[in-house]
Structures are given as C-alpha cells and as structure tokens.
Amino acid sequence: MREIYHNDLDSVVNELVVMSDSIQIAVRDATRALLEADLQLAERVISGDTRVDAMHDQLEQRTFTILARQSPVAGELRTLVAVIQMVAALGRMGDLAAHIAKIARLRFPDHAIPEPLTENFRRMSRLAQDMVGNVGRILAERNLEEAKHLAEQDEEMDDLRSQQFRVILGSDWQHGVETAVDVALLGRYYERIADHAVSMGRRIIYVITGDLPEGENWPTT
C-alpha cells in the first residue's frame, strides 16, 4: 500500500513537470506570435489554454484525492500542499501566455512590439521560459540552489521592465500612446509569470527545508 502511495506522489510531481513544460512552450509560442505577427500561432496558444486548464483541474483533483486517502505528514504533506499551490500558479501563467497571444492577435497584421524593444521582449521571454520550465524539475529533484536562483533571474526581469519604461517615456518615443500601453501591459504579463515562478521556488524551499523563506508572498493574479 505504501509503495502505491509513493508511486502516486511521484506521479503528481511528474505531471507537474509536464504541465510546466506545456506552459514553457505556450510562453515561447506566444512571444513568437507577438514578435513575428503570426496570427496562426497566436490562435494556437489561445486555444491551447483550455488544455492547460484541463491539466490544472485533473492534477489538482488527483492531489486532493491523495491528501484525503493517505493522510500524509511532514515532508510528504509539504510536497502535496506545494503541488496544489504550484498547479494554481501554473494555471495563471497559462492565462498570462494566452493574454500575450491575444494582444498579438488584436494587433495583427501589425507588430505589437516596436523594433527598439524587440530584443528586450525576446530576453524577457527567454527568462520567463527558463523559469517556468525549471520549476517542476526543481521540485522533482529537490534542488535547493536552483530554487534560490529563481529570485536572481527575477531581478533581471525587473531590470528589463524598467528599461521598457525608460524607452516608452523617453523624449524620442515615436510609436504613439496605444503602442506604449501595449508595451506596458505586455511587460506586466511577463513580469507576473516570473513572480509566480519565484513564489513557486520559495514553496520548493519550504518543501526541502521545512522553513518558509522570509518575505513569502503568493501572487494572486
């Protein structure tokens, strides 16, 4: 019976890795749609959000079932609670990727991002993809150092967002108010993806050590 229980526990963590991989792909494709004005790719990301929601519901239900049937304690309980919270965060990340794709669709056939900020958003996307793609594996491997590294990556994300504001508020900005609003909103989406990843990393630190990191704050949107 305990072997079945531990197999179930490993299974939900593995499914979390699969879900994080799916979100990583969604962020990648949403960014490509945004930077390349690719309507077909934008539609694929938007329609794929339904599949992410289904993954969220299924994994959350499986985790609640294990909690109800097995009455886990100590590290196992921390892991299951963390999975429930991380699944919710990944679901929100999927929504954010879909929001990025929707702006790409809204501005098609034009590009939502002007050329001066293309590389900025490309780097934002790479950071977000890396952070999202790693969180599931960090939990599966109980990698404390990589969990802490997520906060360092978030600092770079904040710097990139500050650079965006300096560009759109600069005296040489020539792309209008509508584009400036798009840039500010899109930058916020990537920033929130990173924020969720950092909070997930803090939860993983709690799973590994039993100590809640100072300043723990779970994003709500």
Tell me the per-residue pLDDT of 86-125, one tens digit each, with 9 for 90 and over.
889 999 999 999 999 999 999 999 999 999 999 999 999 9
Q: Which two tokens stand for residue 113?
A: 């991002």
Q: Which two tokens stand for residue 51?
A: 């599949």
| pLDDT value at 215 more than 60 | no
- DSSP letter assigned to residue 109: T
| pLDDT value at 136 more than 60 | yes
Q: Please say whether the beta carbons of 128 and 198 come within 8 A.
A: no
Predicted TM-score of the model (pTM): 0.88
Looking at residue 69, its pLDDT comes to 76
Largest Cα span, the chain: 68
Lowest mean pLDDT among 1-5, 81-85, 193-197, 217-221: 217-221
More confident residue, 210 or 174: 174
Contacts 24+ apart (CB under 8 A), 70-74: 70/5, 70/8, 72/9
Q: Please say whether the beta carbons of 202 and 139 come within 8 A.
A: no
Name which of 118, 141, 106 is nearest 17 in CA terms: 141
Name which of 7, 11, 34 is nearest 104 in CA terms: 34
Sequence spans of domains, the chain = 2-209
Looking at residue 113, its pLDDT comes to 94
What is the rounded average pLDDT for all residues in the chain? 87
Evaluate whether the domain defined by 2-209 bears CATH number 1.20.58.220.
yes
Question: How does residue 218 score in pLDDT terms, banded at 50, 70 and 90?
Answer: very low
Looking at residue 39, its pLDDT comes to 96
Looking at residue 216, its pLDDT comes to 54
How many other CB atoms sit within 10 Å of the CB of residue 158? 12
* Cα atoms found within 13 Å of the Cα of residue 146, Cβ hemisphere only: 15
Lowest mean pLDDT among 12-16, 74-78, 130-134: 74-78
Question: How does residue 72 score in pLDDT terms, banded at 50, 70 and 90?
Answer: low
- Of all residues in the chain, the percent with pLDDT exceeding 70 is 90
